[in-house]
């Protein structure tokens, strides 16, 4: 702004007695010209489509627990959800494919579960895999199902894993799952136990020699207790860094419900972990509001293109109990003393937007420029929203310095449960796609919806899988 003012000032000549008045007027004009006007929320020019049903599956809706991930090699999406009108349903996942023309290839592993599922995809030169973590409702165990396709034989099959089943049968709640570089599964989930024994659980596939797994999966998994205590470990969100170390966002009572992040230490110097995992995790709160605010819906994402731990992002909802008003918040790891929040100011935290008073999901990713994208629900107006960090102050329309651009992805005045489940992923060029649930009262069911930029739609329809580096959410 100052550079802009000075450039105007240098272009004019003033007499000594007139300088004060003219510079005053000049500054007013320059400020008007140089500060961007605050932009209003707009409905982005994105395509919205329902994933199924069609003529083949006319009653399959898959909206409960909506999840999406990109096949990074083709740039085409994969989705998962439950065909459900309540808290249980049949699990299915579908892959957008070009086999015989563009359509959804459906996979049905014959599983009935709760909507706290998660989805990921992995591919090598010899095979590809789609995995879903879930909770088995018949015995309350943590489970994992994987569809593995071998390219040489052009054959695929389901692999079923029973991972964890503690005494009281309340495992695998709110599971979060990621594949690592080698295609090994990592899962975080909440276990509900006796009073004071709730816990955040972590499991990863080792093939053999592990300490957990049942039936045909005995010894194939390594399990550990990350943190424990009354209602500790709820709403976990898992991400892996560039060394395949896990980082888990979760809720822990700390005055009030507070977002914590547990990070694997690679040794025994941490402050949490139980039993053989003691010290193998470091658990820290992100933004402690002295017990004033209730925090929920943490979502973590590690940007592997960023140096060291500076790529660790967290987004969450924060509620002020006296009014019920909620806000969307974001933090990035800054390192000890370099931030403005956390026990040692190791996080940089910021308010992004108001989200109304009702519950809604939060989903976080990072775009091709290394800047965070957050899909969320604005319950005050029943809007599905996208907040994008522009990277520059005064360039957006939300946040304390308007650095964030908050725009509308979708709306429905007839449904008060738009976006009860939300997920986001980015393709190999950082172009986002958002999956969300849309409850249709006349159907008594949740539809699984996808929304994505027009540039992606054009590529889906034409089969052109070239890079889409020109994407901008505000075009």
Give the separation between CA 233 and CA 215, rounded to whole angstroms: 26
Buried b (16+ CB within 10 A) or exposed e, 251-265: bbeeebbbbbbbbbb
Is residue 459 predicted with pLDDT exceeding 90? no
Q: What does DSSP say about strands 103-107 and 112-113: parallel, antiparallel, or unpaired?
A: unpaired
Residue 410 burial (CB < 10 Å; 0-12/13-18/19+)? buried
**Whole-Å CA distances, 47 to 342, 409, 450:** 39, 9, 8
In this predicted structure, what is the pLDDT of residue 101? 54
What average pLDDT does this structure show over 340-366? 90
In this predicted structure, what is the pLDDT of residue 28? 32
DSSP assignment letter at 395 = S
pLDDT digits (tens, 9 = 90+) for 279-308: 999 999 999 776 788 999 999 999 988 776
pLDDT digits (tens, 9 = 90+) for 317-330: 999 888 888 999 99
Phi (first) and psi of residue 289, to 5 degrees: -105, 35
Peptide bond into 53 cis (omega under 30): yes
H helices present in 399-471, as ranges: 454-462
Q: What does DSSP say about strands 112-113 and 127-135: parallel, antiparallel, or unpaired?
A: unpaired
In this predicted structure, what is the pLDDT of residue 236? 98
- Domain-by-domain residue ranges, the chain? 1-35, 44-462
Is 411 strand, coil or helix? strand
The CATH fold assigned to 44-462 is Neuraminidase (2.120.10)
Poorest-pLDDT segment among 153-167, 221-235, 443-457: 443-457
Give the separation between CA 356 and CA 320, rounded to whole angstroms: 11
In 3D space, the residue among 459, 453, 390, 458 whose CA is nearest the CA of residue 43 turns out to be 453
Give the separation between CA 134 and CA 15, rounded to whole angstroms: 77
pLDDT digits (tens, 9 = 90+) for 52-88: 766 566 677 888 899 999 998 888 899 999 987 567 8
pTM over 0.85? The answer is yes
């Amino acid at each position: 702004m100052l550079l802009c003012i000075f450039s105007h000032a240098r272009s004019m000549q003033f007499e000594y007695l007139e300088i004060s008045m003219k510079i005053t007027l000049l500054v007013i004009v320059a400020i008007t010209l140089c500060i961007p006007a605050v932009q209003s929320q707009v409905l982005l020019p994105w395509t919205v489509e329902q994933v199924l049903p069609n003529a083949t599956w006319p009653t399959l809706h898959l909206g409960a627990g909506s999840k999406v991930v990109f096949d990074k090699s083709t740039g085409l999406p994969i989705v998962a959800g439950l065909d459900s009108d309540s808290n249980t349903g049949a699990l299915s996942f579908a892959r957008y494919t070009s086999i015989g023309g563009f359509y959804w290839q459906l996979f049905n592993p014959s599983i009935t579960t709760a909507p706290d599922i998660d989805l990921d995809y992995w591919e090598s030169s010899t095979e590809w895999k789609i995995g879903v973590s879930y909770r088995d409702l018949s015995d309350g165990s943590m489970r994992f199902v994987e569809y593995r396709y071998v390219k040489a034989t052009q054959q695929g099959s389901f692999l079923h894993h029973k991972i964890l089943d503690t005494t009281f049968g309340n495992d695998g709640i709110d599971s979060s799952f990621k594949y690592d570089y080698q295609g090994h599964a990592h899962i975080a989930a909440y276990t509900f136990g006796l009073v004071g024994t709730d816990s955040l659980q972590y499991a990863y596939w080792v093939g053999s020699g592990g300490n957990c797994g049942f039936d045909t999966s005995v010894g194939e998994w390594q399990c550990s207790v990350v943190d424990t205590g009354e209602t500790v470990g709820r709403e976990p969100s898992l991400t892996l860094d560039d060394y395949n170390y896990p980082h888990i966002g979760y809720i822990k009572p700390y005055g009030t419900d507070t977002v914590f992040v547990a990070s694997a230490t690679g040794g025994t110097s941490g402050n949490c972990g139980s039993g053989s995992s003691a010290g193998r995790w470091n658990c820290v709160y992100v933004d402690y509001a002295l017990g004033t605010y209730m925090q929920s819906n943490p979502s973590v994402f590690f940007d592997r293109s960023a140096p060291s731990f500076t790529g660790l992002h967290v987004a969450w909802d924060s509620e002020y109990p006296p009014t019920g008003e909620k806000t969307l918040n974001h933090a990035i790891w800054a390192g000890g003393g370099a931030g403005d929040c956390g026990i040692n100011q190791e996080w940089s935290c910021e308010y992004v937007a108001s989200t109304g008073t009702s519950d809604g999901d939060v989903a976080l990713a990072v775009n091709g420029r290394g800047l965070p994208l957050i899909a969320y629900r604005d319950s005050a107006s029943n809007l599905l929203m996208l907040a994008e960090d522009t990277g520059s102050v005064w360039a957006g329309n939300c946040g304390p310095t308007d650095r964030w651009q908050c725009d509308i992805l979708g709306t429905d005045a007839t449904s008060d449960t738009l976006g009860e489940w939300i997920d986001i992923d980015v393709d190999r060029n950082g172009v986002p796609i958002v999956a969300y649930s849309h409850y249709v009262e006349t159907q008594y069911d949740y539809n699984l919806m996808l929304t994505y930029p027009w540039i992606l739609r054009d590529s889906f329809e034409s089969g052109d899988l070239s890079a889409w580096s020109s994407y901008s959410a505000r075009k």
